[in-house]
Structure 1
Amino acid sequence: MTDTPLLHVDMDAFYASVALRERPDLVDQPVVVGGSGRGVVLAANYVARRYGIRSALPMTRARRLCPHVVVLAPDYDTFTSVSASVMETFRDVTPVVEAMSLDEAFLDVRGATRRLGSPREIAERLRATIHDEQGITCSVGVAASVSVAKVASRRAKPDGVVVVSPAEVTSFLHPLDVGELYGVGEKTQALLHRFGLLTVGDVAHTPLQTLQRALGDHLGRHLHHLAWGTDRSDLSPTAGPHEPERSMGADETFARDTDDRDVIVRELLRLAARVTGRMRAAGVAGRTITLKVRFADFTTITRSRTMPEATDVTVEVHRAVTHLYDALGLQRVRVRLVGVRVEGLVLRATVHHQLALGEPEHGWADADRAVDRATRRFGAKAVRPASLV
């Protein structure tokens, strides 16, 4: 039985790396992926990061930091496809894969060591396979707990492996700033610094009762476990390649902040069509529909509605998010971004729609599938709602 069974595998600058596969001439230049207007940076390659550019930075600020930065438009279909292939590679090694996002996951490899070697050997095997098959690199942290594996993968970047055995946990963690701990954000880091707890070792050697009095029972206990590397070591496997994703969604940042309901509702239709198109392609449907709204001051809210039965119909999703938007009762409030997400996805084949009395046999669901067939043959713009033309 290995004493470091958990791997955290994190793609290096995933979106930028995938985008650069087709542009090798740009590899040594500062490159970001994102919208060219008022959007935010989705990802930055390591050259761009030297200028202080990071993901989620407004594109206008990124251009100020590096006027000659190259901006590439995101190709979400390609990102999703590459991610799915990477996750399948993980599941070829072990069925115990907890995906955290498109570009990172935890793996429990204790059942694979007899077949594939030590956790370090498995980590190196994964790096080589992903590089050979996908043309991108990844970094891997290997440890006995989730948080230590996560910190180790950060230390392994870019394109490396760091193994932290149980005997090395304290010497590895304790010299680090408390902000390095997994899940400790800027606010918690600042709070700990105000209490004079600057390093992980400072937190580790503060009595648990003192931490709980200062930070609350839950946070104090959680930080105590993180500082000693004794947090969870069990994973919650996520959906495999033949199971549905848990949710699908899409966001859009307006070129200019707007309070025009017609403009906002039209964009919600575009997003609903994009999301439900992906759902139908994946053969899934969902019951919980979520609206996201970000205002001009960057305040963000979400509102959700659970449908009577799972759906993948564009009109139904659009109608739901429009009702959610209208229910906000906004009066001349300017909106920066809107998003649509469908959650609680299940396989479409398991959903059986009961026709209501007088309901026609063929309806919007059939229309959507006819549109799907047309767009597959003639392109994404072949058939669209009239309001989007």
Structure 2
Amino acid sequence: MLDATPFRRQAQPARPPLEAEAAPETPARRVRKIIHVDMDAFFASVEQRDDPSLRGRPVAVGGARARGVVAAASYEARAFGVRSAMPSVTALRKCPDLVFVKPRFDVYKSVSREIRAIFSEHASLVEPLSLDEAYLDVTENLTGAPSATRIAEEIRAKIFARTGLTASAGVSYNKFLAKLASDHKKPDGLFVVPPARGEAFVEPLPVARLHGVGPATEARMKRLGIETVADLKALPLGLLQERFGKAGAYYYGIARAIDERPVRPDRIRKSLGTESTFFEDLHGFEAMRLALLPILDKLWRQAQALGVSGRTVTLKAKTADFRIFSRSRSRSEPVPERAALEAESLALLRPLLTEAASPLRRGVRLLGVTLGALSGPDLRPAPRQLDLGLS
């Protein structure tokens, strides 16, 4: 049986295939072979590759201005605690020698196309998640290779040979585990989670490692005594659904390393959004405006990283009594810049607060912004709609 151990490009001794690859198939259920590939500190690594003076130095891609935000950080910067989405002033306090470079999204997109071309040499089922990561279903692959582990090794080697960049990969029998595995031995690592070890692999993990568990949900879980995935697994489905609604069934499944989502190569993203739940309710326009700024920063970075733009802006607000309100506005052309996204969002927020007897005046516990009617190099242009002003 193959142990779940990391692999590096530098050492490639002969090894047995992933257990999922050796296990016999049954008509009732076929074990899939899923690879998740994630580039290592992608934006920052491209900058260090192209500028030798940056190699070995702490680098942040983003703006060093007062309201700047770190879009990506090199591993040298991460050693000081610098992370993406961190305000630039905070990053500089943590690492006074931090070097800021302006993002070059045209270059990142070009490198991403090279990487996707490598994926297409091995699999027809490729689901890109962003410029620097993707899922591949290699159960049936284009090279006829019986081992997903070998395919992952070949992909990583090709990426390094053609781009000079390193990638980490996770191999397992579903998307959830493959993504966790790719992050397990970063940077420049390969980690395998066979079917027999899926549940044992996730049980000791803190619940914060699970996709969909943000700070607010983590805090709720901890109040219930849920610290690890093993704690989550110990709770019955009914209780999880009672406490977490529709997400309860999702938590129940992943606590048992179950994820039936297929790799979708034809998935067309229709919208892109982000939101934050606050530990204390927000009151007043200015408090909500300030809370929206990091949300908008994150959304704009995601749109740039994916190479997409959108014409429809949707603002979402959840009140202290859990009622949800949303307002949308569509433009004739895509939102051109971050400042315009902010202006559209605030224009949607202000009327919600000025309406007579507005429920938002009692407090807001969540705010979110979505960019819709997306278009981009990998998307079909969204059809135009009349600007109705409301969702």
* Structure 1: distance between partners of 2:214 and 2:345: 31
Q: Which amino acid aligns with 1:23?
A: D
* 8 Å Cα contact 1:150-1:182 kept in structure 2: no
Out of 66, 78, 92, the position equivalent to 1:49 is: 78
User: Aligned-pair RMSD on alpha carbons?
Assistant: 4.0
* 8 Å Cα contact 1:36-1:71 kept in structure 2: yes
Shift of 1:151: 0.8
Out of 98, 101, 125, the position equivalent to 2:127 is: 98
CA separation of 1:313/1:56 partners in 2, compared to 1, >3 Å: closer, same or farther?
closer
Shift of 1:156: 2.5
Percent of pairs with identical residues: 36
Out of 189, 209, 219, the position equivalent to 1:160 is: 189
* 8 Å Cα contact 1:290-1:321 kept in structure 2: no
Summarize deviations over 1:141-168 as a string: whole Å, max 9, x none: 1111111111111103111111111101
* 8 Å Cα contact 1:8-1:105 kept in structure 2: yes
Out of 44, 47, 62, the position equivalent to 1:19 is: 47
Greater alpha carbon shift after TM alignment, 40-49 vs 216-225: 216-225
1:66 aligned partner: 95
* 8 Å Cα contact 2:175-2:259 kept in structure 1: yes
The answer to whether residue 230 in structure 2 is matched with residue 201 in structure 1 is yes
* Structure 2: distance between partners of 1:195 and 1:340: 31
* Structure 2: distance between partners of 1:138 and 1:187: 31
CA separation of 1:313/1:226 partners in 2, compared to 1, >3 Å: closer, same or farther?
closer
Alignment TM-score, normalising by the size of structure 1: 0.66
Out of 15, 23, 33, the position equivalent to 1:5 is: 33
Summarize deviations over 1:253-289 as a string: whole Å, max 9, x none: xxxx9xxxxxxxxxxxxx9xxx9xx88xxxxx97x43
Shift of 1:211: 2.2
Summarize deviations over 1:220-272 as a string: whole Å, max 9, x none: 21111111111224122246xxxx986799xxxxxxx9xxxxxxxxxxxxx9x
* Structure 2: distance between partners of 1:248 and 1:199: 30
1:172 aligned partner: 201
* 8 Å Cα contact 1:291-1:321 kept in structure 2: no
Summarize deviations over 1:339-385 as a string: whole Å, max 9, x none: 996734389999999xxxxxxxxxxxxxxxxxxxxxxxxxxxxxxxx
* Structure 1: distance between partners of 2:226 and 2:99: 40
* Structure 2: distance between partners of 1:222 and 1:350: 32
Out of 333, 343, 348, the position equivalent to 2:373 is: 343
* Structure 1: distance between partners of 2:136 and 2:214: 24
* 8 Å Cα contact 2:122-2:138 kept in structure 1: yes
CA separation of 1:119/1:181 partners in 2, compared to 1, >3 Å: closer, same or farther?
same
Q: Which amino acid aligns with 2:312?
A: I
CA separation of 1:93/1:247 partners in 2, compared to 1, >3 Å: closer, same or farther?
farther
Q: Which amino acid aligns with 2:173?
A: A
Residue 255 of structure 2 aligns to a residue whose secondary structure is helix
* Structure 2: distance between partners of 1:77 and 1:290: 24
CA separation of 1:50/1:93 partners in 2, compared to 1, >3 Å: closer, same or farther?
same
The answer to whether residue 170 in structure 2 is matched with residue 141 in structure 1 is yes
Higher helix share: 1
Q: Which amino acid aligns with 1:206?
A: L
The answer to whether residue 58 in structure 2 is matched with residue 30 in structure 1 is yes
1:108 aligned partner: 137
* 8 Å Cα contact 1:303-1:324 kept in structure 2: no
Residue 156 of structure 1 aligns to a residue whose secondary structure is coil
Structure 1: tracts of 5 or more residues without a match: 250-256, 258-270, 280-284, 294-300, 331-338, 354-389
Out of 223, 241, 266, the position equivalent to 2:251 is: 223
Shift of 1:313: 11
* Structure 1: distance between partners of 2:91 and 2:221: 30
1:364 aligned partner: none
* 8 Å Cα contact 1:143-1:166 kept in structure 2: yes
Alignment TM-score, normalising by the size of structure 2: 0.65
* Structure 2: distance between partners of 1:245 and 1:216: 26
Q: Which structure is larger by alpha-carbon Rg, 1 or 2? A: 1
Residue 155 of structure 1 aligns to a residue whose secondary structure is coil
Out of 263, 283, 289, the position equivalent to 2:312 is: 289
Aligned length: 300
Shift of 1:209: 2.2
The answer to whether residue 104 in structure 2 is matched with residue 75 in structure 1 is yes
Residue 84 of structure 1 aligns to a residue whose secondary structure is helix
* 8 Å Cα contact 2:38-2:132 kept in structure 1: yes
CA separation of 1:224/1:75 partners in 2, compared to 1, >3 Å: closer, same or farther?
same
